[in-house]
Amino acid sequence: MIYGISNAIIAINLNKIHKMIKFKKDSSQFYTTLKKEIKLVLTKEVLKKANRLLWIKLLIYFFLFVIGIVVLYINPYGNNNLLLILNYIFIGQTGILLAFNTSHDAVHNTISKNKKVNSFIYHITFNLQGINARLWKIRHLSSHHIFPNVDGCDADIDDNKLMRLSPSHKNYFWQKYQHIYAPFLYAIYTLHWILIKDFIYLKKKELANLKNQNHSIWVVLELLLWKIFYFSYLIIIPYLLTENTFYNLIFAFIVMHLFISLFFVFTLIISHLCMETEFPKIDKNEILPYNYYHHQLAVSLDYHPTSKFSNWIFGGFNSHAAHHLFPNLPHTCYTIITPLIKQKAIQYEYPYNELSILKAIKSHFKYLKSLGKEKL
């Protein structure tokens, strides 16, 4: 079922949620006609080329990532701290690009027809970034992709006191300044995820629509071993192999995370949290106001979605409408299908949100400011 939304994705395990939320019945022909037109465009040859490009990107980004680590171990720049920092930033950035362009497709089983191959690629490339692949996969597939921007159902906008990301969240007085202090929080995002967030999610029994979560001792052990490996290959091994001091390595490591955190957050957060995107609420019968496909368009925002360069860098996150409508297609064909999505959205009077990346970031901060002032 390459063009459709798998029933397994939409279906919710009743043992893991506290209520059954439904989408409004789809009475339009939007998705049906869109699928037909996409099938005509995505011929076997086009799909073959798109899949081949996925493997090329995997090899290139993984090669660059490994090169960065090898240079760190060889340490050709001696005690030059600036070059050490740049080396770490290169490792971190190529690692993020590897995850964007490889891990994300692998978790949706689009790299290979063999699910075991996808699983192997996903776990290796994702865990190498210090973030637990297993826990993120659960949140991404079983929560965010089904109910994006639905309060209490999307783990990505889980309520927290520091940032108000949903109109349904409680407003605290300090959040009226969140558009000012947000960049500082965003700058430590990946470090917080690696050191704290994964352990919080490991312990949580309930998270958004995910209920009664239990993780075996093997999941806990896997998480700990990958964390140890991450800090070992980026800090311990360079300390043992080079003349760099432990403090210089730690400092360069932290600077790397400040850099990649901002890149990571601003690539992802603008795809759903802007003035243009909606936050649909359920009615008294626990039914959302839109059908599934209308909902995905209403809550998503694209930036430079038909740019091949942007596709190469952002791994399709910039074509978020295409990704949420067709998560089982390789991101390397999003530049082809996005114009069709936009055309059909206009035809059927469905929403379609698109800005430049700079305008999207500006819209995000405007959104934060509006939420900070808004009262429930």
What residues have CB less than 8 Å from 197, skipping those under 6 apart? none
Distance CA 21, CA 38 (A): 29
In a domain, 47, yes or no: yes
Res 19: pLDDT: 53
Assigned domain for 1 exists: no
User: pLDDT tens digit string along 131-153?
Assistant: 999 999 998 998 899 899 998 88
Residue 2 covered by a domain = no
Q: What is the pLDDT of residues 42-89, one digit of tens each?
A: 999 999 999 999 999 999 999 999 999 999 999 999 889 999 999 999
- The mean predicted confidence, pLDDT, of the chain is 91
Please state, in angstroms and rounded to a whole number, the distance separating the CA atoms of residues 142 and 157.
14
The helix (run of H) or strand (run of E) holding residue 189 is helix 189-192
Confidence of residue 278 (pLDDT cuts 50, 70, 90): very high
Is the CB of residue 262 less than 8 Å from the CB of residue 186? yes
pLDDT-based confidence at residue 159 (cuts at 50, 70, 90): low
Q: How far apart are CA 34 and CA 337, in angstroms?
A: 9
Of 147-156, 187-196, 358-367, the poorest mean pLDDT is in 147-156
User: Is 80 exceeded by the pLDDT of residue 375?
Assistant: no
Model confidence at 199: pLDDT above 90? yes
Residue range 106-115, pLDDT digits in tens:
999 999 999 9
The residue-averaged pLDDT of 119-131 equals: 97
Among 212, 167, 207, 174, smallest CA distance to 13 is for: 212
> With bands split at pLDDT 50, 70 and 90, how would you rate the model's confidence at 10?
very low
Residue 7 is predicted with a pLDDT of 35
Between 153 and 371, name the one with better pLDDT. 371
Q: What is the domain extent for residue 214?
A: 7-373
DSSP one-letter code for 24: P
pLDDT at 4 over 80: no
249-278: string of b/e by CB count within 10 Å (b at 16+)? beebbebbbbbbbbbbbebbbbbbbbbbbb
CA distance 347 to 330: 25
Residue-level pLDDT at 8:
35
How many domains, the chain?
Answer: 1
Handedness of CA 79, 85, 91, 92 (dihedral sign): positive
Distance set, CA 226 to CA 23, 135, 221, 229, 322 (Å): 38, 13, 9, 5, 32
The secondary structure of residue 22, as a DSSP letter, is B
- The CA distance from 64 to 197, in Å, is 28
DSSP-derived pairing of the beta strands 302-303 and 354-355? parallel
Q: How many residues are listed for the chain in this entry?
A: 376
Alpha-carbon gap, residue 167 to 169, rounded angstroms: 6
What is the pTM assigned to this prediction? 0.90
For the stretch 296-334, pLDDT in tens is 999 999 999 999 999 999 999 999 999 999 999 999 999
Reading the block at residue 358, the tokens are: 């700079």
